[in-house]
Amino acid sequence: MEDQILLTMRGVSKTFPGVKALDNVSITLRKGEIHALMGENGAGKSTLIKVLTGVHAFEEGEIRLDGFDEPIINHTPIEAQKRGIVTVYQEVNLCPNLSVAENLFIGREPKTKLGYIDWRKMNKLSRELLKRLDIDVDVTQTLENYSLAIQQMVAIARAVDMDCKALILDEPTSSLDENEVSKLFVLMRHLREKGVGIIFVTHFLEQVYAVCDRITVLRNGEFAGEYTVAEMPRFKLVATMLGKDVDDLDSIKPEGCESNCDEIAVEAVGLGHKGTIKPFDFHIRKGEVVGVTGLLGSGRTEMVRCLYGADHAQSGTLKMKGKVLKAKAPIDSIKSGMGYLPDDRKADGLISELSVRENIVLALQARQGVFKTLPLAKQYELADSFIEMLHIKTATRETPVSQLSGGNQQKVILARWLCTHPDFLILDEPTRGIDIGTKTEFQKLILKFASEGMSVVFISSEIEEMLRTCTRMCVMRDGEKVGEIDGEMTQEIVMSAIAGGEEK
Amino acid sequence: MKRKSRINSNTLLLLITIALFIVMYAIGCVIYHEKGFDHLQTFLNILITNAGLLCVACGMTCVMLTGGIDISVGSLIAMDCMILAYGMGVKGYPCIPLLIFVLVIGLVFGLVQGFLVGYLDIQPFIITMAGMFFARGMTAVICTKQLSITQDANALFYSWANYKIFLPKFLGYLNSKGKLQIPFIRPTVLVALSVVLIIFFVLKFTKFGRALYAVGGNEASAKLMGLNVRSTKLKAYILSSFLCSIGGICYSLNTMSGSVQQAVGLEMDAIASSVIGGTLLTGGVGSVFGSLFGVLINGTIGTLVNTNGKLLSSWANIATAALLCFFIILQSVFALVKERKS
């Protein structure tokens, strides 16, 4: 049973216009294993999964599934589901307006003899199902009353109950906090014991080592290898994903970014927004990189929103270069030289139908007003310089942003703010969901800007990343700034500061 | 343990609608006591006059649950009434085949609109607007005059229209002249109330009904969960137009006439009733009982203005406008509160 093969994809190739997205890729999933699928952005993870579940057609290769003699081809996700291959995405694909029980059973509701839906039976079955999986919710409540983590678990429960043999989890942990992630892991291990094969796509290395048995690595649309977790130390995994040595990562120790300038760029005293963040003090010098750390929901985003004026501060004062700034709306902050890269990439206004160039010049144009149009030549110049500087991988500057990969889209937003030449730039999780190579580039860029005199506030969930870039860190806990870490910073010091002395 | 959170905001909205109706009616009873507003027959008359609207509102609710809209219903009613009036009044056709014909037209009308919305993914507003122009135009093509159905033209239809179903005697009361009145309803009321019950059952206990909610809640998810989104939408529009034709027959029985200007703006009354009854224009939330009370509130406003006698009838529109604003603001506030909480 242990080594029984559940699903194999062999020699799969897929071409998009102009790009070979998958080239002779293979993956083998066994019963009762959690199989990590790793790779940088653009490595072909999503494409592979979409090919498997019938979202995309593929040109070469074959997919074999246990229980079918012939190779299978799924034409639609529903067809894949019927064969027992179910995907749970980061954005939960359930109906938030229906009850938990309905979400579990819609489309296959238990019926009474007269042919109408038997609600009592449906609720009972749902309760039993969720109890088996150790999920404690009231099944009659509407789904939207529950957290994203619970919603994901409900989606998984639905998959399990539909006799799913192969469960694909596509970056399920990106929006979850630690506690929720560990709950999800418990559920995943539980399913592993039941013989379900799980393909787990994630960017978080720790999570791979915490829960997975085997790893398949893709690189540039090609198969880079399959390993057991035991034989694959972190360093080697990263090296395999990048296809090069990772000296790069170490080479960007925070040297030379130590700010020797005493000019204070931004200073906040007693700034606060009722309901989201308690009054806090904050200052940043010219050319300094300050990190804001804390758990998800600890007030990191709320603090910078308050600084930026996205949430109107009800108390305290904010000084920018010594002058009091009364920002009523973000446009005031932009005009005084602030930039803010929010954490929600989709909602923050990348206009996916517009080209890379148009997206880049957007903020600058907005600051100039409608009547002072930037000359086209100037726009070309700006766009080209940022494409080169940030290594944005795009066919041309006129390519619609929607065709770019996630990491490159993120760079486009960054370019948008950089071309307004902000003195003070806030980056909220700029590296979330992007691959390690791009992350490294991002960190280098941040340091470069700082050395040119820009003050940067940097938020990241990955402490290592902040250790490499920041000179100082603000620690947030439960909607309050609880302290700052200065001087010597190690992972342990930061972790214990976040945890607040409690046993972690 | 979490008993309190059981009442979610949608249920609360429905309760507010019902409470509002009761309060409004009670106020009417107190103010217009002398004019007999508190007589049971006044309430029943609201049901009688609005039987057609009630059928239409039920169909509208189903369409709105999917996140769509159907603004062709007013014109379709005018066309139905015209077909009946022309068929019976001018041509002298028997009524049963004509009624079946009208219902079939409803089905076909819905089939075309539903196909275009569901399978070709065209905006429902545009499609049903085309349907609205088409039906109103066809009404005029059939006949531009105002036609009526007389007893001579069709005795059977006439007898249905004037048939009174009396309620039990103990509900009777003495009118201002001291004569015993036994309250009655028309057959159309029974038809409309059956429609409400059937649609309630369909929405709550059938796969199709739940699919309507799912499609309105999150279309992409509904698709991935294996529901047939296209056919669900198609069926919703067929249901709407079919119920609209039933409503058209009720309307015809009430007015016994057909004219191009009939039921102008009725689609807006139906939408207003659904919204006041707690149906969200964005889809996924709503109930047919809410819409029933929406229609009753709509009717009560009209009756109040009529009973007053001195007020311009347009005040009813202004009152509806105020109520609509009230409910839409209420819905937004609830949505905001919910967002805050999470």
Look at residue A347 in the predicted model and tell me its pLDDT. Answer: 58
Q: What is the CATH number of domain A256-498?
A: 3.40.50.300
Q: What are the residue ranges spanned by the domains of chain A?
A: 5-249, 256-498
User: Are residues A51 and A14 in contact, defined by beta-carbon separation less than 8 angstroms?
Assistant: yes
A458 or A479: which leads in pLDDT: A458
Cross-strand partners of A235 = none
The count of CB pairs under 8 A between chains A and B is 70
Q: Quick one: what percent of chain B has pLDDT higher than 90?
A: 65
Are B224 and A116 a contacting pair at CB < 8 A?
A: no
pLDDT cut 70: percent of chain B above it = 96
> Sign (positive/negative) of CA torsion A144, A150, A155, A161?
negative
Are B224 and A78 spatial neighbours (Cβ–Cβ below 8 Å)? yes
Which residue bears the tokens 């179910």? A86
- Are residues A95 and B217, on separate chains, in Cβ contact within 8 Å? yes
- What is the average per-residue pLDDT within A242-267? 58
Question: What interhelical angle do B40-49 and B187-205 show, nearest 10?
Answer: 70
CB B286 within 8 A of CB B279: yes
Give the 3-state secondary structure of residue B291.
Answer: helix
Among the partner-chain residues A81, A109, A119, the one whose CB lies closest to the CB of B207 is A109
Least reliable range by pLDDT among A203-207, A284-288, A385-389, A415-419: A203-207
What pLDDT is recorded for position B13?
83
B67 touches chain A (CB under 8 A): no
Q: Return the amino acid letter for A390.
A: L
Q: What is the per-residue pLDDT for A35?
A: 93
Asked if the model's pLDDT at residue A1 lies above 90, the reply is no
pLDDT at position A310 is 80
pLDDT tens column, B100-149: 999 999 999 999 999 999 999 999 999 999 999 999 999 999 999 999 98
Which domain range does residue B230 map to?
Answer: 38-305+314-328
- Token pair listed for B208: 């199709």
| pLDDT recorded at residue B76 | 96
Assess if CATH 3.40.50.300 describes domain A5-249.
yes
pLDDT reported for residue B251: 95
What is the distance between the alpha carbons of residues B49 and A64, in angstroms, rounded to a whole number? 65
Sign of CA dihedral A62, A64, A69, A75: negative
State how many domains chain B has: 1
- The confidence score (pLDDT) of residue A53 equals 86
A5-249 and A256-498 in the same fold: yes
Q: Please give the full DSSP string across A391-419, using - where no structure is assigned.
A: T---SSTTSBGGGS-HHHHHHHHHHHHHT
Average pLDDT over residues A365-388: 81
**ipTM surpassing 0.85, yes or no?**
no
pLDDT at residue A260 in the model? 57
Distance from CA of A135 to the nearest CA of B (A): 17
- Three-state DSSP at B266 gives helix
Q: Residues of A with CB below 8 A from B218's CB?
A: 93-97
Q: In chain B, which stretches have pLDDT less than 50? A: 1-5
Instruction: Tell me the DSSP string of B184-217.
Output: EE-HHHHHHHHHHHHHHHHHHHSHHHHHHHHHHH
**H helices of A194-314, where?**
205-211, 234-242, 247-250, 300-308
**Beta bridge partners of residue A22, listed in sequence order:** A14
* C-alpha distance from residue A433 to each of A90, A439, B84 (Å): 11, 9, 64
Chain mean position to CA A419: 25
Return the CATH number at B230.
1.10.3470
For strands B173-174 and B180-181, give the pairing: antiparallel
User: Smallest CA–CA separation between A486 and chain B, in Å?
Assistant: 34
Quote the CA–CA distance of A78 and A99 in Å, as a whole number: 22
Structural contact between residues A138 and A130, judged by C-beta atoms closer than 8 angstroms: no
| Residue from A95, A141, A143, A151 to probe the interface with B (highest B Cβ count within 10 Å) | A95
pLDDT in tens, A171-227: 887 767 777 788 888 889 988 988 889 999 887 777 888 899 999 988 888 888 899
β-strand pairing of A424-428 with A455-459: parallel
